[in-house]
Amino acid sequence: MTTIRNLDLAIIGSGPAGLAAAVKAKQLGIKDLVVFERDERPGGILPQCIHNGFGLQKFKEELTGPEYANRYIQMAQAHSVDIELDSTVLEIDPNRNLTAVSEYSGLRNYHCRSIILAMGCRERPRGAIGIPGTRPAGVFTAGQAQRLVNIEGYMPGENIVIQGSGDVGMIMARRLTLEGAKVKAVTEIQPYTSGLIRNEVQCLHDFDIPLMLRHTVAEIHGDKRVEGVTVVEVDTDWNPIDGTEKLIACDTLLLSVGLIPENELSKLAGVSLDPQTGGAYVNEVLETRVPGIFSCGNVLHVNDYVDEVSNQGEIAARGAFYRIKNRMPAREMRISIAGDQTVGQVVPQTISGELPVTFYIRVKRPMQKMALRIGEIFEKKIPYARPSEMIQVRLSKKSFSQMEPSTTRLKVSCED
Amino acid sequence: MAVPEAAPRKHMGDYDVIVIGGGIIGAMIARQLSKLKGRFALLEKESFGGFGVSKASLSQIHLPDFCPPGTLKGKLVREAPTRFKKLAAELDVLYREVDELWLALDPAQVNNLEAARARAESHGATGFEIISPQRIHELEPQVTPKAVAGLYARGLGVIYTPEWNFALIENAVENGVQLHLQTEVIDIAKTRDGTLRLTTGQGTLTASYVINAAGLYADEIARMAGDAHLQLSLRKGTMLIFDKSVSYAVRHMIFGSFSESHSQNIAPTAHGNLILGVHYVKTDNKTDSRVSREAIQQTLKLGRELVPALSEKDMITSFSGILAQPNMSRDGDFYIAPSENAPGVIHVMVGAPGLSAAPATAEYVVQLLGDAGWRTEEKANFNPRRRGWPRFETASIAKKKQMIGADSKYGHVLCRCEQVTEAEILQSIRRGAHTMDAVKHLTRAGMGRCQGGFCTPFVLKHLADTLGIPPTRVTKSGPGSHQILKITKAVAGNE
C-alpha cells in the first residue's frame, strides 16, 4: 500500500530561494513544510561560490557564498525547518502530488496544499551552442569547474580559455588565476560582457586577464585532451570574420555561455513557461498558472544577485500562505504586464493590482539616459542600462489606485 | 604505429580463432564463437569495445530496402529485426520497435520509394506499402505538408549500440572468450607450422584463424595480411541529438532523400530522444571526429525539410562518425571473404547497414570458418543469457521501490537529467566501465540536456574510489584523456 503524506507546503530546492521561502513560511505560521534538496548539503550552488559579495542588501555586509548560505541554514534550524537532503523530487503533478526519492527513506509520496519551485538553473553545455571541433577531455562549464576547484579540490587544467563572459566564467577566471593557472583569454561574442560590470573589473581587469569582446571560439583542437582553440572575431550578426582566426594553445576550455532555468519538474506539473525568461508565468506573489504552485529565484528567471533570489523566496512563501489560508486576492490575474520591443523580459507577467509588486525588468540592448515606464503609473529616468543588469521597480498597493478600474493591460517600455 | 623498442613481448596465448576489433561486428562474432568448442580471443586496441565506428552509429535496425538485389548485405539484413529482438531478450538490452516512413517530397521522388520497395521485396521482405499524404499525416502530424507519398513498413527497431556492444562482449567472456583490451595488432605473420602469429603492443598471440573485424582499421589489418588491395573509402557523417521535450514530433524512422553527401533521416532513439542525420563529407583521416559549424547547419536543414518544427535551440549535442565502405564490392556491398594471400585470415569489411547485418554476419563468418576447414562443434554449456542491471528512470513505481529495497543506492539520483542513480554508476564501473565515457554510454549519466554539468564530479569520484586510483588518473576515454590535471594548492598543501 502506498502511504501519502499530506503537507501544507513542499519546497523543491534548498538554495537561497528555497531556504528563504522556508524561513518566511515558518514565520508566517505554515508549520507542515518540507524542503527537498538533492545534494548532500543545503545551500544549492552557494557552497561552491567562495568569493565574496553576497548579502549586501539582505545583511548589509559582504559575505561569501557559504557564509550567506549558513545565515539561512541557521535561520532554518532556528525555525525547525525540515530539510530532506540527498532527496530528488522525481515527479510533481498539477494536483500537487509529489514523489521524492532518497537513499535513506526510499520512494515517498506526498500531497501538498502548495509547492514552491526553487530548483535554480543549469548551465548551457557545449552541445547546445554547437562549438565545432573535436571532443577531447578538458571542456567544462564554468560552474562545473567551480565545483571541482572549490568543493572537490581538483584543478581542471593549467592553461585556460574561457568562452563567454557570464558571471561564473569571470569569477572562475580569477579563481583559477589565484590557484596558479594561466587564463589566456575570455572571449565574448557580444560587444559587452554578459555578466556584471563589478565582475568584469574585479575578476578580469584587476588580474590583467585578456577580455576579447566580439570574439568567439570557432573550433576546439586536440584528440585526447584539449590542445588549443581557434578564436575568431565576429561581425555584428555574430558571423566569423575571415582572416581573424587566431590559435590559442591551452589544455582547458571553460564555457560560460548562459544559464537556463531548470524547469523540467515544472513542466510535469503543467506549469506554462515564458519563452523570454525560460521560467514560469507568474503573478505578483509568484504563483504560476497552476494554482498552488509557486516559482522563485533562478528557476523563475536568472537573477544577478543572490539577495534578490532570497527576496523572491519570501514573496513566494507569502503567496503560498495566501493560498493555504484562502486569502488570495479575488481578482488575482486581472492585469497582464507586457514589455514592448525594448524590453527583454519582465516578471511578473500578471498582477492583481491589489497587492504591492516588485517588477524585474531586463532591457533588450544597452541603453543610455532612458525612461522606464510602466503604463501610466510609473516613470523613471535611468542613466545607463544593459541586459546583464536587472532593473527592479517596487510599487506599493497605492500606486495602482491611480489606474482606471477597467485596466487589463500595463505596457512596460524603455525609451532612449 | 611505431613499436617502442623496449615493447614487452610476452606471449599472451594460443587460440583457435582470434577476432580483431571489439566493435559491434567483432563483439557479435566473438559471442557467436563462444557458442562453440574452442579457444577464442577478442582483441581491442582501445580501453573499451565499441568506441570507434560503432559508438557513432545511428543505432537503427533496418529492413533490406536500402540493399540492391543480389547483394550479400541484403541477405544478411533481411531478418535483422527478428534476430535483434531475440538477442535483446537473451542479453537484457534495449530494443525499441519503430516503424519506417520514407517520404517523397516531390513527385519525382516517388520512383525512389517504388525502387526501395522492389529492393526490399527482392530480398524476400514483405509488408512495404506506398501511402498517401493523408495517411502520412495521420501517422506523423509534424512532417512537412510537402510530402506527396510515403513508403511505410512496420517492425524496424532502434537500439543503443554501446550498450549492446558491452553486453555482447560480457556474454562472450562469460562463455570463455578471452578479452584483451588496449591491445593493438601491429603485425601478422605466418609461422612454419601454418599458424598465424599476431604481434601487439602488449605481446604476441597465435591462432589458427584470424577474423579481421577492425572496422575503420580493417584496411590496415588487411595490409598486414598481405591484402593491401583491400581499401576503405571514408565519409564523415554528422548527427544531432535533440532534447526529449521535442520527441513528440517524430514517432517513426523517417527518411527523405539520399546522396553521397547526405542521408536524410530523423528518428527516435532507444532512450527517447530524437536523432537527426546525416550530413557527409569525404575524409581520409580516420580520427577526424571534428564537427564543423557548416555540417551542423546542413544537418539541421536536412531535418527541417522533413519536420519543419525542429529548432536549433532543442539540440543538446552534435557528433561525427566515420563510415567506412570497402572498395572491393559492387553496389556498395559488404566484403566478407577469406584472405587471398594469408590462409586462415577472414576479412569482415562492412559499410552501411553493418549494424543491422551484424547478427547474420556473425553466423556467416562461422560458416566461412567451416568452409576454410575448421571443425565447428557446439558446446553444451553455452549460456545465452546475460543480465544487465535495472535502470531506475524507466522502471515503474513498484519496481523502483523494489530496486531501492534491494540496494538503497538506487535511491540516490546522481544524474538529474536522465535520473541515473549511484547504484547504476557503481554497477557499470564494477563491470568494466573504467572511463568517464564508458560510464556515460552504459548508464546515460551525462547524456541528458545538461551534458554532465552536474554529475561529472560524482562520476569522477566514483571512478577514482572504485578503481582505487587518484582522481588525476581518471580519463574521459583512455590514456591521454585525463579529466583533471592536478589537485589544488590548498589540498596539495594538506597532503
Residues of chain A with pLDDT under 50: none
**pLDDT surpasses 50 at B4:** no
Tell me: do B136 and B41 sit in the same domain: no
Q: Which three cell numbers stand for residue B146?
A: 510537402
Could you give the angle at the alpha carbon of B208 between the alpha carbons of B202 and B213, nearest 5°?
Answer: 65
Domain range summary for chain A, segments of one domain joined by + = 1-123+259-328, 125-257, 331-416
Q: Which of residues 95-114 of A touch B (CB under 8 A)?
A: 99, 101-107
**Residue B482 is a catalytic residue:** no
The distance of A408 to chain B (nearest Cα, Å) reads 33
Enter the CATH code of domain A1-123+259-328.
Answer: 3.50.50.60
Q: Which residues of chain A have a CB within 8 Å of the CB of B474?
A: none
Burial-class residue B407 by CB neighbours within 10 Å (0-12, 13-18, 19+).
middle
Q: Are residues B192 and B272 in the same domain?
A: no
Cell reading at A270: 503543467
B356 φ, ψ (degrees, to nearest 5): -60, -35
End-to-end CA distance of chain B: 40
DSSP 3-state helix, strand, coil percentages of chain A (rounded to 5)? 25, 35, 40
- Residues B225 and B247 both lie in one domain: no
Q: Is-cis flag, bond preceding B64, omega within 30?
A: no
Residues in chain B: 495
Tell if the CB–CB gap between A107 and B453 is shorter than 8 Å. Answer: no
Whether B104 and B210 share a structural domain: no
Q: Do B405 and B484 reside in the same domain of the chain?
A: yes
**Domain of residue B273, residue span:** 96-157+233-326
Q: Write out residues 166-225 of A within 8 Å (CB-CB) of B.
A: 179-180, 218-219, 223-225
Contact A38, A88 (CB under 8 A): yes
- Strand ranges for B269-357 from DSSP E: 274-283, 315-326, 335-338, 345-349
CA gap A18, A76 in Å, rounded: 10
Is residue A409 within 8 Å of A214, Cβ to Cβ? Answer: no
- B352 and B261 assigned to the same domain: no
Residue B25 predicted with pLDDT over 70: yes
d(CA A403, CA B231): 80
Of the candidates B275, B259, B376, which has an alpha carbon nearest to the alpha carbon of residue B316? B275
CB atoms within 10 A of CB B142: 16
CB A186 within 8 A of CB A210: yes
B126 assigned to some structural domain: yes
Distances (CA, A) of B304 to B107, B248, B381, B441: 19, 15, 52, 28
Residue B318 CA to residue A129 CA, distance in Å, equals: 10
> CB–CB of B232/B218 below 8 Å?
yes
Quick check: is B80 in a domain? no
Question: In A125-240, where does DSSP find H-type helix?
Answer: 126-129, 142-147, 167-178, 197-199
**Location of C-alpha cell 505554515:** A30
Mean pLDDT confidence for B223-249: 95
- Check whether residue B346 and residue B411 sit in a common domain: no
Same domain, B248 and B188: no
pLDDT in tens, B51-104: 888 888 999 999 999 999 999 999 999 999 999 999 999 999 999 999 999 999
Q: What is the DSSP string of A292-326?
A: TEEE-GGGTS--S-HHHHHHHHHHHHHHHHHHHTT
Q: Do B470 and B405 share a structural domain?
A: yes
Test A107 with B413 for CB contact under 8 angstroms: no
Q: Contact B290/A132, CB-based, under 8 Å?
A: yes
Distance from CA of B491 to the nearest CA of A (A): 6
pLDDT tens-digit map of B448-461: 888 888 899 999 99
Residues of A in contact with B291 (CB under 8 A): 130, 132-133, 135
In terms of domains, do B205 and B267 share one?
A: no
Indicate the Cα dihedral angle A53, A55, A59, A65, nearest 10°.
-90
Q: What is the pLDDT of residues B410-445, one digit of tens each?
A: 999 999 999 999 999 999 999 999 999 999 999 999
The pLDDT assigned to B2 comes to: 43
Helix (H) or strand (E) holding A160: strand A159-163
Question: Distance between CA atoms of B21 and A415, rounded to whole angstroms?
Answer: 66
Has residue B1 been placed in a domain? no
- Give the domain CATH number at B211: 3.50.50.60
Where among B326, B360, B379 does a domain terminate?
A: B326
pLDDT at residue B344 above 80? yes
From the centroid of its chain, how far is CA B174?
Answer: 21
**Nearest residue of chain B to residue A143 (CA atoms):** B453
Does the complex come out with an ipTM higher than 0.95?
Answer: no
Sort out which chain A residues have CB atoms less than 8 A from B289's CB and list them. Answer: 134-135
Do B292 and B421 fall within a single domain?
Answer: no
Pairing of strands A97-102, A106-117: antiparallel
Query: Over chain B, what is the mean pLDDT?
Result: 94
3-state helix, strand, coil in chain B (%, to 5): 35, 25, 40
Say if residues B281 and B88 touch (Cβ distance below 8 Å).
no
Q: What CA–CA distance (Å, rounded) separates A193 from A171?
A: 13
Q: Which of B326, B356, B381 is the last residue of a domain?
A: B326
Q: How many domains does chain B contain in total? A: 3
Domains A1-123+259-328 and A125-257 share a fold: yes
- The whole-number average pLDDT for the span B344-351 is 97
Which 3 state secondary structure label does DSSP give B474?
Answer: coil
Q: Where are the alpha helices (DSSP H) in A159-260?
A: 167-178, 197-199
State the pLDDT confidence band at B390, using cuts at 50, 70 and 90.
very high
Taking Cα atoms as reference points, which of A142, A124, A126 lies closest to residue B296? A126
**Domain match, B339 and B322 both:** no
**Residue-wise over B365-385: b if at least 16 C-beta within 10 A, else e?**
bbebbeeeebeeeeeeeeeee
**Dist CA A344 CA A364 (whole Å):** 4
CATH number corresponding to A125-257: 3.50.50.60
